[in-house]
Structure 1
């Protein structure tokens, strides 16, 4: 079975198995496989009859389908591959633990040792039959390369052969997984004590008190996510260095038509940015309402080279804090026996090196503070190579009563917690929350989470009342880090982390399982206290 080595040669690899019922097709042109021209159906409609679309990557025209049980997959692939509208059709690899599709692109990331001669590196790549697509800027002697089309699974062999060389440090194929958003589908109770629908709520992160000292001016927060509605009034005048690393343009705005499907279109990034830096000028304040927003649209799958470029762009264009509310797909939080809870998803070297570049070289060498959502699977965040990376602040979610949100991931990787939404779940004896979730910015009009229903936010559809998950918690901590840096711009990222953890409030003492060092597997070092953190930074 194909094995990818995302780390060095002496580190364990990730093995995948061919799926018996999944196939991948790539359109010859356009973002999707065409089934008709105008009102005239194409033969492709019959070739895909009965197949269920389970994953789409419109940025490269790739779709993954699951066939009904018992259907011969080889025959279907041959017919699709011969269709003029299809550039390629083939088998799909799957994660053996979960059956989740894992796509390979015939691209490889290769990093030679730092002291290797660049001319030698290029000669080695050419000898392996690889074309250099990009010499990346976040690591020395590192290249994003392409094998000849239809190399197929032999990219795993090529990568392994290169990794066996003494002058190669990392070598792995570009593998694409579904990138999961960390969201669970009055007002701003997470920022201050307030009353919601007549019920007092006092489980906030002490943000309003911090605003008496600083509101984040002079600090830039990068939000890497799907499209961000940068024309929203809450971001006016504070957008810097916008980028779409998937489309390779400077327009990070949502590219879809919106709606209320299972992934809610390109709505997620706008809400995340709102939690971090919304101005509060019209209806929702972010944690750092005077910080600048560096919006980066990433629509590519998990593990893509675009993912790595996002971190480099953020660091090279002045980001002080980087907020990421995404990562590997979560297991089912309500099903403790879900085998997905035990799977380990490593971070590819390409992304890991770019993340480390931002963490070590950003802010003139003081390092960007990188925040990740811990996850919504009620599972160990330590198995997530993104949230579990040592340079990352992984954020769990706590609720409006100061206890754990039922879905929030756990473990040693969790650094701190931040207020978010919650759900009642009788099998766990988990009570109903006091509020519907986090009130924040929404994509304007009817295209966002709130189509204009006052019960879901405001009547115009510019705000949502029900954002949540660790997706909302992570930008809350990113905004708090911005307040800390505004109070003391000379702090290193390590010092910011230490302050956030040291000044956090230990919540739920009875059930938090805090150890001798003050760490809880549920809350990290506790719920962030923005005012205490700002005071510590000034001191």
Structure 2
């Protein structure tokens, strides 16, 4: 396969042979030894449908010659690519069977839920709804229990503090321990697994750390690490190491493997940061921080995350002359913002350093990607059946929009071009902010319950929280449907716009009539029952909806039978209308009454401590 500039085709052999099935290294060596001397073949990945071998020889040769020699020997070659140079070539499709879907490694044990105090400090602003945080509502978001996080990094200092499941070495013999970058990624996403330790976004997720070589060694380690993490059963994979210039056919294979076969075939989300790579075209006087369209983070299968500022907008920093400059790339592939300003340092201080005050760490786009990965774990914990496109849809529908123009606090700017563009596309995208800032609280509410999803889409966040609480505390709300049906119905609403509109219309009607029985009666007897029957029947027969398990089909049939019987009994009709009115009042009227004290509590939590 061709590569980009500095192609090593025709030089000493160092290539990856991708096969269509398992091939013995000795067979590859035998097929090539007649043409090249000193052939060494190393099995890199043998996990259907990915079969990679690395072939090296001091003799010169071209990849097409290697492919031809292997094909002549009857070996099932998909492609041959450089192991050391980048390439924009797309790998030929691989054949995958349902049995190839990734299932959790039995040795990677999930964690149970825990309940520990999480102190409110200025440096933990990124967890809150205010100040540009990701709005982790622990009461309703949970802790990510049962989820598994794969973190790919090239340094592992201070990992002993993390309580990670294990370290996995990928094409390195010893774990590098010169910096704490990998430890920070794990800690911000998950936290420290010890009493009183820092609790990250998803503190009860189980992390594994996949360690790869430093940049420049080869372009093979990143795709191998992704395949390994996904194959081990990771629910989310994040890599915030320097991976610019590592696009290859193998990375294409790895991302396709994650998207198609991760999480038992539902797909495993892969999170990359936007990075910070300055470039300047020959005819320009401006140094642009722009994400190259050929970089790994620009791949459409990747969730590319940029850093948000504390308070508002894109993360900017002040130079010595107090001028604002960007701290991350922008570009058409940026998906979301997550906090990237100074965050509390989650790792304990070095020995001999007193913990007198909270320490802050520069997070940038690396920290933002770790926080985004933690938020995705929380959402998936609420609805593990979500496929990656559904997860993407929920996160995008629940984002906080970010004004495209730079805030007044960004002035003076070192270069006005750094703050462009100051507009957003019709679909809401901006090159700096993507589609907006992640809101874990909204996304978790929407992921786990169809009515909460409808309320969030209406902008009724307080009502969605009230409905979540009612499902936990009120027998009437709890008995309407099972959690299994709730999770499936969320996916059905995402797939079927007509059903989603119908449920949103019912929620709007509840808002209009809440607390006012006269207004409810004015619409006529039985109208709510009729609307409910149409919606449940729609769920039962919707073609765009995901496949229904036997349990879901049975519950839908039972609900529909009950609604149809109620329609013939005036007392039952009245009971349905009364129950609807009771729940509408609890959700909308009760939510309004609770909103004021909750807002006051949040304001107190963000106030600076009194000296």
Same fold (TM over 0.5): yes
Summarize deviations over 1:222-274 as a string: whole Å, max 9, x none: 11112153421xx34xx32431224357xx5xx44xxxxxxxx2210011111
Q: Is the 8 A contact 1:382 1:413 kept in 2?
A: no
**Are 1:480 and 2:375 matched, yes or no?**
yes
Structure 1 residue corresponding to 2:65, chosen from 161, 164, 168: 161
Structure 1 residue corresponding to 2:232, chosen from 312, 317, 331: 317
Q: Is the 8 A contact 1:442 1:464 kept in 2?
A: no
Counterpart secondary structure, 2:185: helix
Structure 2 residue corresponding to 1:374, chosen from 274, 291, 305: 274
- Equivalents in 2 of 1:491, 1:292: separation in Å? 19
- Equivalents in 2 of 1:536, 1:528: separation in Å? 13
- Equivalents in 2 of 1:278, 1:203: separation in Å? 20
Greater share of strand: 1
Counterpart secondary structure, 2:426: coil
Task: Kindly report which structure 2 residues correspond to 1:500-539, keeping only aligned pairs within 5 A, or say none.
Answer: 500-511=395-406, 513-539=423-449
* Cα shift at 1:401: 2.4
Q: Is the 8 A contact 2:22 2:46 kept in 1?
A: no
Q: Is the 8 A contact 1:271 1:443 kept in 2?
A: no
* Cα shift at 1:470: 0.4
Counterpart secondary structure, 1:286: coil
Task: Kindly report which structure 2 residues correspond to 1:243-282, keeping only aligned pairs within 5 A, or say none.
Answer: 243-247=168-172, 255-256=176-177, 265-279=178-192, 281-282=195-196
Summarize deviations over 1:161-209 as a string: whole Å, max 9, x none: 34678875432222179xxxxxxxx21111116xxxxxxx7221111x2
Q: Is the 8 A contact 2:290 2:331 kept in 1?
A: yes
Task: Kindly report which structure 2 residues correspond to 1:132-531, keeping only aligned pairs within 5 A, or say none.
Answer: 132-134=41-43, 136-138=45-47, 140=49, 142-148=51-57, 150-151=58-59, 154=60, 157-162=61-66, 168-175=77-84, 186-192=122-128, 202-207=131-136, 209-225=137-153, 226-227=155-156, 229-232=158-161, 235-236=162-163, 239-247=164-172, 255-256=176-177, 265-279=178-192, 281-282=195-196, 284-301=198-215, 303-328=218-243, 345=245, 347-377=247-277, 379-405=289-315, 406-421=326-341, 437-442=342-347, 445=350, 452=353, 458=355, 464-511=359-406, 513-531=423-441
- Equivalents in 2 of 1:440, 1:481: separation in Å? 21
* Cα shift at 1:315: 1.4
Summarize deviations over 1:461-495 as a string: whole Å, max 9, x none: xx851231101000111000000110000111222
Summarize deviations over 1:40-96 as a string: whole Å, max 9, x none: xxxxxxxxxxxxxxxxxxxxxxxxxxxxxxxxxxxxxxxxxxxxxxxxxxxxx9xxx
- Equivalents in 2 of 1:389, 1:516: separation in Å? 22
Counterpart secondary structure, 1:442: coil
Q: Is the 8 A contact 2:270 2:302 kept in 1?
A: yes
Q: Is the 8 A contact 1:298 1:307 kept in 2?
A: yes
Counterpart secondary structure, 1:221: strand
Q: Is the 8 A contact 2:25 2:42 kept in 1?
A: no
Q: Is the 8 A contact 1:241 1:317 kept in 2?
A: no
Q: Is the 8 A contact 1:485 1:491 kept in 2?
A: yes
Q: Is the 8 A contact 2:298 2:304 kept in 1?
A: yes
Distance change >3 Å, CA 113–CA 128, structure 1 → 2: farther
Q: Is the 8 A contact 2:29 2:40 kept in 1?
A: no
- Equivalents in 2 of 1:384, 1:210: separation in Å? 38
Q: Is the 8 A contact 2:276 2:328 kept in 1?
A: yes
Counterpart secondary structure, 2:63: helix
**Are 1:14 and 2:15 matched, yes or no?**
no
Counterpart secondary structure, 2:305: strand
- Equivalents in 2 of 1:134, 1:393: separation in Å? 30
* Cα shift at 1:382: 4.0
Q: Is the 8 A contact 1:228 1:273 kept in 2?
A: no
- Equivalents in 2 of 1:164, 1:403: separation in Å? 54
Counterpart secondary structure, 1:189: helix
- Equivalents in 2 of 1:163, 1:327: separation in Å? 31
Gaps of 5+ in 2: 87-121, 278-287, 316-325, 407-421, 450-611
- Equivalents in 2 of 1:536, 1:127: separation in Å? 61
Distance change >3 Å, CA 288–CA 247, structure 1 → 2: same
Counterpart secondary structure, 2:367: helix
- Equivalents in 1 of 2:32, 2:50: separation in Å? 12
Quote the residue 1:340 is aligned against. none
Higher relative contact order (CA 8 A, sep 6+): 1
- Equivalents in 2 of 1:247, 1:114: separation in Å? 26
- Equivalents in 2 of 1:125, 1:144: separation in Å? 13
TM-score by length of 2: 0.54
TM-score by length of 1: 0.61
- Equivalents in 2 of 1:168, 1:356: separation in Å? 18
- Equivalents in 1 of 2:432, 2:362: separation in Å? 21
Distance change >3 Å, CA 349–CA 124, structure 1 → 2: farther
* Cα shift at 1:507: 1.1
- Equivalents in 2 of 1:317, 1:284: separation in Å? 26
Structure 2 residue corresponding to 1:108, chosen from 8, 11, 15: 15
Counterpart secondary structure, 1:491: coil
